[in-house]
Amino acid sequence: MESGMDSLLSRWRKIINQLENIPHLSIIPQPEMKNFTTWKVGGKALALVEVRNGGCLDEVVSSCEREGIKWKILGRGSNVLVKDEGFPGVVIKLGGEFCELKREGNCIEGGAGAPLSHLVSFAREECLGGIEFLVGVPGTVGGAVRINAGCFGKEIGPLVEKVEIREENGNREWLNRDDLFFSYRYSNLKKEKIVILKAVFNLFPEEQEILEERIREFCYLRKEGQPLEWPSAGSVFLNPEGNSAARIIEEMGFKGLRLGRAQISSKHSNFIVNLGGAKSWEIEYLMNWVQKEVYKNKGIWLEREVELWP
């Protein structure tokens, strides 16, 4: 009798020969996901496929769905915890045209796969302000828009003018500002089968020297307040309304607590860091334990900000 994994590999072999002949597409078979996530943990996926244009994306998604193979889009691997067992499906990364940036008046159109660091640098070079606060955030344009990423009291949502998406049925559509809804670490684009392709940001003219000074200030704040010396996924829990997850965890006395090689950061208690060689289950156990203990003692349920795969 064919096992679940054997069946999955059999279905994958049916489509890999077709995909390998498609230009502008690269495939890494059974990658260790710890090499593609900022936490540096996670087992193997079935494959990691980089697509460089819309046609490639359609081919990969339709092939996976035809064979009943799971697929997910991965940006820079931040905000994600892949389990030690890995992900039984295909991980898709957006490259090529999805990483392009261009100016349109006081707006910047960014491909969903473009790193946020490139977006910040491009805006500085074009003397456009408003997005400097994202310097150092290890994500992509698409991922940031999807979860309305933010820091230092600012969010990316208010800057978004319009977004191009690939709908579940494969159609492409531009959504204007009135079609979009953003709230704290949420947008109405946060749906399983919707793929963000591009986003347009409405910025404002600014002198380059002023932008460079702001970028330096935000870099300093990030370095002073966050444990950048260890792999992490950024903030683990959402802040409860009117409160701070970091403050709550610190009040509980959990700062610096360890399990194996995973640790609640002694610098910022809403970060769990990998001290080197941590396992995904250690990080997940710490997250679950903090949630339960905080709820038991304070009656507050801390919602996870990070996504668990699968």
- Active-site residue among 63, 232, 235, 269? 235
Is 2 a residue whose pLDDT tops 60? no
pLDDT at residue 1 tops 50: no
Q: Is the pLDDT of residue 36 over 90?
A: yes
Give me the catalytic one of 50, 185, 265, 282: 185
Average confidence (pLDDT) over 42-48: 96
53 contact partners, CB below 8 Å, separation of at least 6 = 24, 96, 97, 98
At residue 304, φ and ψ (nearest 5 deg) are -70, 140
- How many whole angstroms separate alpha carbon 264 and alpha carbon 49? 33
Active-site residue flag, 103: no
- Report whether pLDDT(310) > 60: yes
pLDDT in tens, 222-259: 999 999 999 999 999 999 999 999 999 999 999 999 99
Which of these, 203, 58, 13, 18, lies nearest to 119 by C-alpha position? 203
Please say if the pLDDT value at position 290 is more than 80. yes
| Mean pLDDT (whole number) for 94-104 | 97
Asked about 97 being catalytic, the answer comes back as no
Domains of the chain, CATH where assigned: 4-94 (3.30.43.10), 100-224 (3.30.465.10), 229-309 (3.90.78.10)
Q: Return the amino acid letter for 105.
A: G
Q: What is the dihedral of CA 194, 198, 199, 204, to 10 degrees?
A: 170
pLDDT value for 14: 87
| pTM of the complete model | 0.95
* pLDDT at position 261: 98
For residues 161 and 177, the answer to whether their CB atoms sit within 8 Å is yes
Mean pLDDT (whole number) for 4-27:
86
Q: Which of 62, 66, 63, 70 is nearest to 87 (CA)?
A: 70
Residue with tokens 């997850």: 245
The set of residues, in sequence order, having a beta carbon less than 8 Å from that of 78 and lying 6+ positions away, is 37, 38, 137, 138, 139, 143, 233, 234
Known catalytic membership, residue 232: no
- Can you read off the two tokens belonging to residue 255? 């700062």
Q: How do residues 74-90 score in pLDDT, each as one tens digit?
A: 999 999 999 999 999 99
Residue 3 pLDDT level (bands cut at 50, 70, 90): low
